[in-house]
A and B are shown apart, each in its own frame.
Chain A
Amino acid sequence: MKAAMKRSNAPIFWGLFGAGGMLAALFGPVLVFITGIAVPLGLILPADAMSWPRMQAFAQHWAGKGFLFAIIALFLWHAAHRICHSLHDLGVHAGAATRLACYGSAALGTLLAAGALWAVGF
């Protein structure tokens, strides 16, 4: 039993998972509604709510950048952690490979999001 008494690094991933979960609960449904239902069907919101110039301006503003980055990165970390644990439940135990695949994709997605937000300029 003593061998297992190493301090766990889980708080890092659990923290990201928790933060992502909270954002997903707060913004997930409304984002699905806006991007998937309201705008495409022209309900409630004006049809050009997500037009290119508007979205570009949004992504160029520091607050919009921050929002997009947090939403994309934390949703990814949340999903990665959830998938990693669900695989464990299904009998695919969290070895280095599973962890790398799950958290690696989240890290990659985070970098891509940061790069893209940087590239759209300020």
Chain B
Amino acid sequence: MSETGKNGKVIRIEVLRYRPEQDREPFLQSYDVPFTDDMSVLQGLQYIKDRLDGTLSFRWSCRMAICGSCGMMIDGEPCLACKTFLRDFPAGAVRVEALAHFPIERDLVIRMDDFLAKLESIKPWIVPKEERTLAQGEYLQTPAQLDVYEQFSSCINCLLCYAACPQYGLNPDFVGPGIMALLHRYNADSRDGAAAERMEVAGSEAGAFNCTAVGYCSEVCPKHVDPANAVNQNKTRAAGDYFLRLVRPKGGAK
């Protein structure tokens, strides 16, 4: 590598490669990438793809931490590649791997079918508590009612929390932190009336009780959603539902 960045710095990026048609198993491949202090890991990967090795595959779109496509393991931690900077690896090397706990489709691209199926199962939309006609106008909400769920609505489906969750790693049936945050986002919305239906997921054997309160999901979340908090609130709700149904049998899981 003779070419260097404006500041003359070069970093060695080790990338986990896997091309199913030719590689029997994933392996690490190193590239020397010249960089400047404003370059993200994603830009480093783009440099590799454009200048060094066009066969490298990875997902990205917005490059500003909003689309949730560029989640990967960076030096072993679940991170958004566009929100992580090459200057922060002073040892001059960084390892980039596909997101943990998911099957690899190709190189840094993972399969998210499992997550999408789970997402569908929780009805991730507002199911109106009471139908209103157009003439009746909007569904109004106070700032206090917004406060209850707003944080959980910031989820960008980046799956970093899934890569962080040891329980999802052990048991992929667990719906996982992100889904619990989204489920809570709709349940906690004053306009929504489908909490009892979603309880079928939250209170099931795949639901909240798989969590052992590790809390790493909330640490890695790039949008401060705090999925661990959503899981915890739903443990309490699911327990309440479990015991209450004995005196008030209706709704919830079978």
Give A contacts to B, CB under 8 Å: 1, 4-12, 14-15, 85, 88-89, 93
Point out the residues of chain B lying under 8 angstroms from A4, CB to CB: 173, 204-206
A14 and B118 contact, CB distance less than 8 A? no
How many angstroms from the CA of A88 to the CA of B238 in the assembled complex? 22
With a cutoff of 8 Å between Cβ atoms, the chain B residues found around residue A89 in the complex are 166, 170, 212
Cβ of B204: which chain A residues have Cβ within 8 Å of it?
4-8
Q: In the complex the two chains form, is A1's CB within 8 Å of B206's CB?
A: yes
| Nearest CB in chain B to that of A2: its residue | B121
Task: Report the separation of the CA atoms of residues A6 and B253 in the bound assembly, to the nearest whole angstrom.
Answer: 7
Q: List 10 A-B contacts (CB under 8 A).
A: A5-B206, A7-B204, A7-B205, A7-B242, A8-B204, A11-B203, A11-B209, A15-B239, A15-B243, A89-B212
User: B residues near A, CB below 8 A?
Assistant: 117-118, 121, 166, 170, 173, 200-201, 203-207, 209, 212, 235, 238-239, 242-243, 252-254
Total number of A-B contacts with CB less than 8 angstroms? Answer: 57
Taking a contact as CB atoms under 8 Å apart, the answer to whether A6 and B254 are in contact is yes
Bound form: Cα–Cα A89–B201 in Å: 23
Question: Which residues from B are CB-within-8-Å of A12?
Answer: 242
Chain A interface mostly helix, strand, loop or mixed? helix
Is the pair A1, B118 in contact by a Cβ cutoff of 8 Å? Answer: yes
B72 to chain A, nearest CB (A): 25
User: Given contacts A6-B204, A6-B254, A8-B207, is CB(A1)–CB(B238) below 8 Å?
Assistant: no
18 additional A-B pairs beyond A8-B238, A10-B209, A89-B212, beta carbons within 8 Å, are A1-B117, A1-B118, A1-B121, A1-B206, A4-B205, A4-B206, A5-B204, A6-B254, A7-B205, A7-B252, A8-B207, A8-B253, A14-B209, A15-B239, A15-B243, A85-B212, A89-B170, A93-B170
B-side contacts of A10, CB under 8 Å: 205, 209
Residue of A nearest to B120 (CB): A1
User: Given A10-B209, A15-B239, does the pair A5, B200 have CB atoms closer than 8 Å?
Assistant: yes
Residues of chain A with a CB closer than 8 A to B243's CB? 11, 15
Point out the residues of chain B lying under 8 angstroms from A93, CB to CB: 170
User: Which A-chain residue is minimally distant from B253 (CB atoms)?
Assistant: A7
Residue among A7, A12, A14, A85 having the largest count of chain B Cβ atoms under 10 Å: A7
In the complex, which residues of chain A have a beta carbon less than 8 angstroms from the beta carbon of B207? 8
* Minimum CB distance partner of A88 in chain B: B170
A residues within 8 A CB of B252?
7
Query: Chain B nearest CB: distance from A20 CB in Å?
Result: 15
Residue of chain B at shortest CB distance from A86: B212
- A residues less than 8 Å from B170 (CB atoms): 88-89, 93
- Residue from B117, B118, B209 in contact with A8 in the complex, judged by beta carbons closer than 8 Å: B209
| Cα of A8 to Cα of B118 in the assembled complex, Å | 17
Residue of B nearest to A6 (CB): B205
| B38 shortest CB reach to chain A, Å | 41
In Å, the complex CA distance between A12 and B204 comes to 13
Residue of A nearest to B238 (CB): A11
For A5, give its contact among B166, B201, B209, B242 (CB under 8 Å): B201
Residues in A with CB closer than 8 Å to B118 are: 1
Interface contact B253-A11, CB-CB below 8 Å: no
Q: How far is the CA of A14 from the CA of B237 in the complex (A)?
A: 12
Most chain B Cβ neighbours within 10 Å, of A10, A12, A15, A89: A10
Chain A residue at minimal CB-CB distance from B173? A4
Chain A's closest residue to B213 (CB) is A85
Chain A residue numbers with a CB within 8 Å of B209 are 8, 10-11, 14
Q: How far is the CA of A10 from the CA of B37 in the complex (A)?
A: 50
